[in-house]
Structure 1
Amino acid sequence: MARETVYKLIGLLDESHFLPSYHSGRENITAEKAFLLSLWYLSNQETFREISDRFNVTYSSVHRCLTRTLKFLLSKKKEIIRWPAIETTNIITNAFRSKQGMVNVIGAIDGSHVEINKPSHNQDSYINRKGYHSLLIQGIVDHSKRFIDVFCGEPGSMHDARLLRKSAIFKKISQNPDYIGQYFLLGDSA
C-alpha cells in the first residue's frame, strides 16, 4: 500500500467515530498508531503480545485498535472497492489493450487461499487441495491492480468455478448481461 494511501486512510479514521476522543485518564492511542499497528498485524505473523511490545501499547489495546480499524475499513469498502463507472471503462480497457494487447478487458479475476487455523466445526470443508485449512478470496482488479470487486469467506475446499458462481458479480452479470456490456474479465480456466 502506498504511503499516501495509508495517510489518507489515517486521516479518515481520525475524523471518524470509530476511535474514542480523549476525555480523561490515560491518553488515547492516535489514529496513526491504531492504523499502523492494525496494518502491521494484517501483514505479519506476529501475536498480539509481540505487537503490543512493538507499538508500546497494552495487549487489550492491540485488540481494540484492530477491531475499530477493521470496522472503519469495512465501513469504507463501498467507497474503496467499487465497479468502475461507465466513464472509467474506456480508460481501463485502453490500458489493458496497451499493456497486454487485449481488447475490451475490464478486469482480471483470480482466486486465492488465505490460511486459517483449524476451525472447530466442519474442519474438512476448509482443507484446500494443497492440504491446509483456508478461506477463499476472489478478486477482480483493474489495469492499475486496484480491486474493483471482492468476494470472500467460502471454505477452502470449494472449487474456483463454484466460488465464481456464488459471487455477487456473477449473479449481477447473469441477471443483467448489460452490467458488464461488451467487456469481459481476464482469468484462468479455474
Structure 2
Amino acid sequence: MRKGTFMELCDLLSPALRRMNTKMRAALTVEKQVAIALWKLAMLDSYPSVGNQFRVGKSTVGAAVMQVANATKDLLISRVVTLGNVQVIVDGFAAMRFPNCGGAIDGTHIPILAPEHQAGEYINRKGYFSIVLQALVDHKGRFTNINVGWPGKVHDARTFRNSGLFQKLQEGTLFPDQKITIGDAEMPIVILGDPAYLLMPWLMKLYTGTLDSNQELFNYRLSKCRMVVKCAFGC
C-alpha cells in the first residue's frame, strides 16, 4: 500500500478511531491502529507476533483489528461499494461483446475458525469452515454490491435469493429501465452468473447440454465476461 493511500485511509477512519490519552497510558494513534489491523489482515500472523512487531500486547492487536474493521464497515463500505455509472458499465461489457450487461455475480468462501456452536453449518463443500461472500462486480472487477455472512454450507443460490440485490433486481429498481431488442424479445439490463444461479429475465447463465454454434458463442462471451468477478476475488 502506498503511503498516500494509507494516510487517506487513516483520515477517513479517524472519526471512529481517534482516542483520548488517559492518566494511565497514551492512546494508540489512528495510524498505528490502522497499521496493526492491515498487517494482521495481510500477513495472517498470530496476535502475539503482530504485537511484537508493533510493541503492543496481543489484546491490543485484537482490539485494533475489530475497531478498524467496524469503522470500515460503518464509514467506508457505503462510499466505496456503489453501483456507479450504469451506462459506463454497460458500455464496458459491450466492448467485451456482451450487450446490456450491468455486472457479473459470484460467491467465494472466507475461511474462519470453527465456531463453538453449529460448527457443521459452516463447513463448505471443500471441507473447511467459512462464511460466504457474494459480490457483484463491474466490467473492471470493481465491487458494486456485496453480501457477506451466510454460513459456508449455504448454497450460492440461497444466499442470492435472500440478499437485497435479488430483491432490487426482482423489483426492477437496481438498474434503469433500459431495454434492447434481440430477435423478437426485449432484454433488460442483466447480470451474469454461473450454473449455481437461477435463470431469470435479468440473470443470464450458460447453456448446458448439446449446443449449436450460436449457443457455444454465447457461452464463450458470457464466460469471458464472468472472468472479471473471478479475477476480483483473486485480487
TM-score normalised according to structure 1 size: 0.86
Structure 2: distance between partners of 1:104 and 1:11 = 38
1:90 aligns with 2:96: no
Deviations 1:161-180 (CA, angstroms, capped at 9, x unpaired) = 11111111101222x12433
Deviates more, 1:20-29 or 1:67-76: 20-29
User: How far has the Cα of 1:150 moved from its partner?
Assistant: 0.7
1:185 aligns with 2:198: no
What are the equivalent positions in structure 2 for 1:169-180 lying under 5 Å apart?
169-174=165-170, 176-180=171-175
**Aligned-partner SS, 2:17:** coil
User: How far has the Cα of 1:25 moved from its partner?
Assistant: 4.7
TM-score normalised according to structure 2 size: 0.71
Instruction: Evaluate the alpha carbon distance shift between residue 3 and residue 157 of structure 1 in structure 2; reply closer, same or farther with a 3 A threshold.
Output: farther
* Contact persistence 1:34–1:69 (CA under 8 A): yes
- Structure 1: give runs of 5+ residues left out of the alignment: none
- Structure 2: give runs of 5+ residues left out of the alignment: 178-187, 197-235
User: How far has the Cα of 1:21 moved from its partner?
Assistant: 3.1
User: How far has the Cα of 1:67 moved from its partner?
Assistant: 2.1
1:64 aligns with 2:59: no
User: How far has the Cα of 1:44 moved from its partner?
Assistant: 2.5
* Contact persistence 1:128–1:134 (CA under 8 A): yes
Q: 1:134 aligns with which of 130, 135, 144?
A: 130
* Contact persistence 1:109–1:139 (CA under 8 A): yes
What are the equivalent positions in structure 2 for 1:79-158 lying under 5 Å apart?
79-84=79-84, 88-98=85-95, 100-158=96-154
* Contact persistence 1:21–1:28 (CA under 8 A): yes
Structure 2: distance between partners of 1:136 and 1:50 = 28
**Aligned-partner SS, 1:128:** coil
* Contact persistence 2:17–2:30 (CA under 8 A): no
Paired residue type of 2:58: Y
User: How far has the Cα of 1:152 moved from its partner?
Assistant: 1.1
2:51 maps to what in 1?
Answer: 52
* Contact persistence 2:133–2:146 (CA under 8 A): yes
Q: How much is the aligned-residue C-alpha RMSD, in angstroms?
A: 2.0
Instruction: Evaluate the alpha carbon distance shift between residue 140 and residue 6 of structure 1 in structure 2; reply closer, same or farther with a 3 A threshold.
Output: farther
User: How far has the Cα of 1:6 moved from its partner?
Assistant: 3.4
Aligned sequence identity (%): 31
1:7 maps to what in 2?
Answer: 7
Structure 2: distance between partners of 1:56 and 1:144 = 40
Structure 1: distance between partners of 2:66 and 2:87 = 38
Instruction: Evaluate the alpha carbon distance shift between residue 17 and residue 162 of structure 1 in structure 2; reply closer, same or farther with a 3 A threshold.
Output: closer
